[in-house]
Every structure is written in C-alpha cells, then in structure tokens.
C-alpha cells in the first residue's frame, strides 16, 4: 500500500464541529480540513501500523461509528480523486495508484462545482467576455455555474468527457490557464496537501487539597506541572518563549478569591523543567503572593525548538538555561534594575547609561554577508593610522571625588585632593570652562500633601556644572567640574 497517498472521508449526516477531525488525527498527523464535513488525510507509511488500504478504511469507519458518525471513505493516489470519489460513492472506495483518471471518468461534471470553494483553490474558469455581465465577472464564484452550463452546452456530461477534449483547442477557446480544469477532471492535484495545524494550549493546572502559603511546598507543585509541560513541549518540538503563572488565592475568610499573575520573558526557547521551575520560584521570591494558594496554573507561549551547533575551535559559551538562572538569582538578590548589561542612552547627562538583559554574544555568529578578509584589512588600516596619533585616555571615576580648588579670576590655581594615591598641587595650565546642564525640567519633588510616587523608570537628576581640564606642576592632568548651584568642586577623572 506504499503507493496509496491520500484518503478522504466525509460524513453522510451532520456532525458536531471538530469530531471528524479528531477521528482523522487518530490515524494520521497530516490532515487537511476541506470543510467541517470533509477531510483529506495523508496515509503515507501507515501500512506499517494498520495494514493495507482496505484495513485502514474499515478501521476509520469503525472509529467513526464509535463516535456516532456515518462516513464515506475513499483512498487513492491523489487528493483530488479522493475528494471526487468520496462525494459520489457511498461506503468504501479504493483505487489502485495510476488509475485515478479511469475511476473518476464516469463521475458527473457537476462535481467540479462542488469542489470549487476557497479552500480547494481550484482556478476559476473565464468564459467569453460577452457571456457574463460585469457584476458576475467581478466575482469568480459566480462564474462557476456558468462554466458548468457551458460545458454541458458543449455536450459534456462526465469528467471523462472534459478530460478527453484536446488541450490546445480548449486553451484557444477559454485561455491557457483554464486547462487546469482538465487536470482536475483526470483526478490530478493542482497543489500539495496543506496540513492543518491543531491549536494547542501548552498549559497545566492543579487544584490543591489544602491552601499553601510557603514557597517550599509550592516548589513541589511547580515541579510536577513543569515536568508535564516539558513532556508536551518536547513531544511537539517546541520551546517556551514566555512563562505565565496564575496563582488563585484564597483569603482567611474563604470568600474572596483573587489571582496573582506573573509573566517571565525568557531570553531563548527553554523547555527544561528544572530551569523553568527555578526561574518561577526566584520571581515569586521577589514578588510573593499576598495570600494562600489553592490552585496553580502554568502556561507558556510556544516557539520553535532551539537547535544549537557548537564550534570545535572555540570555547563554548554558557547555556542560556544557566545564564537565565544566574540572572534570576541576581535579580532576586540585587533588584531587577541593577543587573544586566550596560547600554548607552541618548543623553548629555554625564555618566548616563541604562541596563538591558544580559546575554553573551557568540563571536562566531556572523552575518551571511560578513566579509572576513575585508574586516581584517579595515582593522589593519585603523591600527596603522592610530599608531601615528598620540594616545590619550580619561580614567573616569564612577563616583566623583570631592576636592578643594582655589581660583583666581574664575580660573583654578591649585588643587587639593584628600587621597593618598592622587597628588595635588599648583595648576600649571588649564582649559575651560565648558558649561553643561540638563534635566532641569524634571520635577522630582512631590507636591505638599501628596503621596510619594513610585520611582518607576529612571529619571535623570538635574545637573548644571562647569568642566575644566587642568595640568599640575608635577605632570598630572585631571578633569574637574564645579557644581554651579552648590559651588562645590569634584574630580571626575585622570587623563593618562
């Protein structure tokens, strides 16, 4: 039966929505839903599980009868022939591969109109322009009865009559693209089977016999749910992109129910149960539920599984699961806004930066258009040009150091630094001032009588200062600034 590729089944009478698809999926994972009462199945390789074509057809009918469904089954080598035969013949129909045209030849030509729907993607037939009104030419579906009427006016009664017409003469009368109707009349497919993807929910829930309040007993519940979720994801070759947790709470009076919801955006597709449970527990440590829990639900937004290919020449990077777990522990310990990778921001604020999610970059991952030799030539040119220039670097202090500065005519004349590793002294030369200010429009003080708002996203502090570069008599070069509103001096960095 290896040559039998397609089987079609349709219900003789109405069936509840989705029941026919459930019957078909019990035999083949590749099915195409043509209508609520008609389905095409891919039967390739099923002979190893069920037997020959007749055995499969009888088993399909038996399974449908258990669901109170009366069905017709047709098994052929093409999906079009299967659909034509299952609409016209009752019971079981099996056609040997290569004999589809002979099997469908006696069928009435009106079956083409039955197959002409948006799901079947059968090409519309264009008849003579003066044969249709403008309104009917605008709608391809309205042409189909006229097409069948035209064929019948020519004396065609069966699909075999249409298939026997000379293709060149038919194309001369109706257009080259309309010869595809002959392929359908011979039971040939105009396109491959498009399998329907079932809508699956990757979700697990558990009702607890007794409410729990501590995270330790909750970890056992999450571990059980994550194991089931991992098995489902692995079966479908999926990973979790977002992890959702819904904890149903019950208060002491037992009357008011609330839902504590948390969502975790995962850096990569993860389906390891231990990693998901650890990430969930670390997030709940930072955001604990306010009451006891009597129902736990975990769900994920699925994404295609991750394929990892390591290099034999470079050291492998930590796995995303390890990085995610480490960052979750640091977030719970230090705070979500204090861990990650620093990123520059579009601001004139001195020392301004933002924190983004940490993810190590694979240096071996190159763009498809990456030119290695051109990159090396560019680096060599930059290095040769840079070697001809003096090297100057500003070693900046993360927290500016308070200092004392004496001035004369508005310019610094001496610098006093209260640190042993930094020397002060008289100023030999200086450059400045460079005045900079900003964020003065940001109001950070609450109005009288109002509550202090939540900090939320970081808001820059107002600054207004004059910056100087000074060279001391001992050869040291410093970068200083003076806060104009407080008239205080600070050492911001050392020029090396």
pLDDT digits (tens, 9 = 90+) for 480-491: 999 988 889 999
Q: Which of 50-59, 228-237, 349-358 has the lowest mean pLDDT?
A: 349-358
**pLDDT tens digits for range 354-393:** 887 776 655 444 444 445 556 566 666 666 665 566 667 8
Does residue 254 surpass a pLDDT of 50?
yes
CATH of domain 204-304: 3.30.1490.100
Contact assessment for residue 490 and residue 479, using Cβ atoms and an 8 Å cutoff: no
Calpha distance 210→193 (Å, rounded): 51
At residue 265, does pLDDT exceed 80? yes
SS3 437: strand
| pLDDT at res. 9 | 67
In Å, how far from its chain's centre is CA 32? 25
Of 105, 99, 96, the residue nearest 75 (C-alpha): 96
Q: CA separation (Å) from 66 to 11, 30, 389, 456? A: 14, 22, 86, 59
Which of 148-157, 277-286, 471-480 is least confident?
148-157
State the pLDDT at residue 360: 64
Cα–Cα distances in Å, from 313 out to 319, 365, 443?
17, 13, 55
Domain map (residue ranges) of the chain: 6-185, 204-304, 394-440+461-495
pLDDT digits over 110-119, tens only? 887 776 543 3
Position 460 scores a pLDDT of 64
Cα-to-chain-centroid distance, residue 103: 46
Q: Where are the beta strands (DSSP E) in 113-230?
A: 203-212
The CATH superfamily holding the domain 6-185 is Reverse transcriptase/Diguanylate cyclase domain (3.30.70.270)
Q: Are 230 and 289 in contact (CB under 8 A)?
A: no
142-201 pLDDT, tens per residue?
455 667 787 888 888 888 888 888 888 877 877 766 677 788 888 888 888 888 776 778
How far, in Å, CA of 15 to CA of 72, rounded? 13
CA separation for the pair 43, 75 (Å, rounded): 9
At residue 377, the pLDDT reads 65
């Amino acid at each position: 039966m290896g040559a039998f590729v397609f089987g079609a089944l349709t219900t003789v009478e109405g069936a509840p929505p989705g029941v026919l698809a459930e019957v078909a999926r019990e035999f083949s994972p590749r099915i195409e839903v043509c209508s609520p009462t008609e389905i095409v199945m891919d039967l390739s390789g099923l002979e190893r599980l069920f037997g020959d074509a007749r055995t499969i057809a009888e088993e399909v009918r038996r399974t449908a009868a258990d669901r109170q469904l009366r069905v017709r089954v047709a098994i052929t080598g093409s999906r079009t022939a299967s659909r034509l035969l299952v609409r016209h013949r009752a019971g079981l129909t099996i056609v040997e591969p290569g004999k589809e045209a002979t099997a469908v030849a006696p069928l009435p030509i009106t079956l083409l109109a039955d197959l002409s729907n948006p799901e079947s993607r059968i090409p519309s037939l264009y008849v003579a322009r003066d044969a249709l009104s403008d309104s009917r030419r605008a709608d391809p579906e309205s042409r189909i009865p006229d097409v069948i009427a035209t064929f019948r006016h020519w004396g065609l009664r069966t699909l075999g009559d249409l298939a026997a017409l000379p293709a060149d003469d038919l194309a001369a009368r109706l257009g080259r693209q309309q010869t595809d109707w002959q392929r359908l009349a011979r039971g040939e497919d105009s396109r491959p089977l498009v399998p329907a993807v079932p809508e699956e929910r990757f979700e697990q829930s558990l009702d607890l016999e007794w409410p729990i309040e501590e995270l330790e007993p909750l970890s056992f519940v999450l571990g059980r749910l994550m194991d089931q979720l991992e098995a489902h994801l692995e079966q479908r070759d999926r990973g979790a992109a977002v992890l959702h947790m819904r904890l149903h709470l019950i208060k002491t009076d037992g009357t008011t129910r609330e839902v504590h919801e948390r969502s975790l955006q995962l850096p990569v597709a993860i389906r390891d149960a231990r990693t998901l449970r650890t990430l969930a527990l670390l997030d709940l440590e930072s955001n604990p539920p306010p009451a006891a829990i009597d129902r736990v639900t975990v769900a994920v937004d699925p994404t295609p599984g991750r394929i990892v290919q390591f290099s034999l020449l470079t050291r492998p990077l930590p796995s995303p699961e390890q990085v995610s777990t480490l960052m979750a522990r640091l977030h719970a310990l230090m705070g979500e806004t204090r861990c990650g990778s620093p990123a520059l921001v579009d601001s004139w604020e001195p020392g301004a930066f933002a924190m983004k999610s940490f993810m190590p970059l694979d240096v071996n991952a190159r763009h498809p258009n990456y030119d290695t030799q051109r990159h090396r030539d560019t680096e060599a040119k930059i290095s040769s040009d840079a070697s001809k220039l003096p090297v100057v670097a500003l070693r900046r202090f993360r927290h500016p150091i308070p200092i004392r500065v004496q001035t004369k005519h508005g310019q610094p004349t001496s610098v006093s630094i209260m640190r042993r590793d930094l020397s002060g002294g008289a100023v030999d030369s200086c450059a400045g001032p460079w005045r900079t200010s900003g964020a003065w429009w940001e109001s950070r003080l609450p109005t009288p009588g109002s509550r202090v708002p939540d900090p939320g996203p970081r808001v820059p502090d107002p600054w207004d200062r004059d910056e100087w570069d000074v060279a001391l008599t001992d050869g040291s070069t410093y970068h200083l600034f003076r806060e104009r509103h407080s008239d205080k001096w600070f050492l911001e960095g050392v020029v090396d």
